[in-house]
Amino acid sequence: MAAALKIEDLHKSFKLGFIPKKKEILKGISLSVEEGEIFGYLGPNGAGKTTTIKCILGLIFPDKGKMEIFGQPHLSLLAKERIGFLPENPYFYDYLTAKEFLNFYGQLFLLKKKEKEEKISHLLQLIGLERSANLQLRKFSRGMLQRIGLAQALINDPSLVLLDEPLGGLDPLGRKEIRDIIIRLKEEGKTVFLSSHILQDIEMICDRVAIIVNGQIISQGALQDLVREKILFTEVILSGLEKKELEGLGEYFSIHGERILLKVFEEEKIEKILNLVQTKRGKIHSLIPRTETLEDLFVGIVKQR
């Protein structure tokens, strides 16, 4: 089975400044996205995420490299008809309603009237905007605009959906709504290539990730393989003890009321704390081992560069 997306040794540079000087943006990107997975493409602003996506779509041309979509050259019509795309800053015709907007894109794909109406109805239901079908886009919130933009990316029933920072600028509820839609796309058998710098969301929904820093992929693979299970520290919340009684047992933080938060980095000190709390007739409210997160991994990689 061919990969949904395969990139080999992708290079791209731009001429910048009054006296043109070449700046290399992508420095040999190679990755493979398997069919039916949600693939996270992570990196700080300016790392090369959007440039990669523009190369995949044929909006700009790489200096060097090879790209295939379901085994077809990325610029072929067979490849392009299987792609859906939501850019980071999409432009919408403000005075169109949601239904008119999707109808317009359906016409671009030459969908027949009945098929188009069924598709629009399904998509509005998928993104939870069926009640706003006749509302003009200028009256939409940021989260609603992201959802209608996602519907636009799905109007041609693509097999591979490319999303460039779809969670940016959204509140927690808006991010959850978009996450839920992305998961539903995977359940329908679609492949999602998701560019983002919002690590918590990536960690929740992605099967595999690639981390790009300064135009180079530094790490890629399944999340469970990249993020170690090693315990970094244990977080203990307790009460009934004085600060001086806990000296040398961990990093101390006072929190609301009489409760104390301790970050304990040495496992053997946990038993000492438990014995001390029992002796002083204090109380343990929680004891949580903290393992490495995707954020820890990402920050560590970026700092090393």
Fold of 5-222: Rossmann fold (3.40.50)
Higher model confidence: residue 17 or residue 192? 192
The residue to which tokens 């961990």 are assigned: 250
Average of per-residue pLDDT values in the chain: 84
CATH no., domain 231-304? 3.30.70
Which tokens in the block code for residue 154? 């799905």
Are 206 and 230 in contact by the 8 Å Cβ rule? The answer is no
The CATH 3.40.50.300 portion of the chain extends over: 5-222
Q: What is the pLDDT of residue 302?
A: 61
Q: What is the pLDDT of residues 107-163, one digit of tens each?
A: 988 888 899 999 999 999 988 899 999 999 999 988 888 889 999 999 999 999 999
Higher model confidence: residue 43 or residue 186? 186
Distance CA 175, CA 168 (A): 8
Structure letter (DSSP) for residue 24: E
201 pLDDT band, cuts 50/70/90, is confident
221 pLDDT band, cuts 50/70/90, is confident
Specify the 3-state DSSP secondary structure of 300: helix
Strands of the sheet containing 208-213, edge to edge, are 83-86, 160-164, 191-196, 38-42, 208-213, 216-222
253 pLDDT band, cuts 50/70/90, is low
255 pLDDT band, cuts 50/70/90, is low
Q: What is the DSSP secondary-structure string of 79-128?
A: HHTTEEEE-SS----TTSBHHHHHHHHHHHTT--HHHHHHHHHHHHHHTT
Q: What is the pLDDT of residue 61?
A: 93
Q: What is the pLDDT of residue 161?
A: 95
Q: What is the pLDDT of residues 283-292, one digit of tens each?
A: 888 877 776 6
Q: Residue 155: CB partners within 8 Å, gap ≥ 6?
A: 84, 102, 105, 106, 109, 111, 119, 120, 123
Q: What is the pLDDT of residue 15?
A: 83
Q: Residue 92: CB partners within 8 Å, gap ≥ 6?
A: 101, 137, 145, 148, 149
Nearest to 193 by CA among 217, 215, 157, 163: 163
Specify the 3-state DSSP secondary structure of 172: helix
Q: What is the pLDDT of residue 236?
A: 79
The CATH 3.30.70 portion of the chain extends over: 231-304
Distance CA 98, CA 140 (A): 9
Specify the 3-state DSSP secondary structure of 213: strand
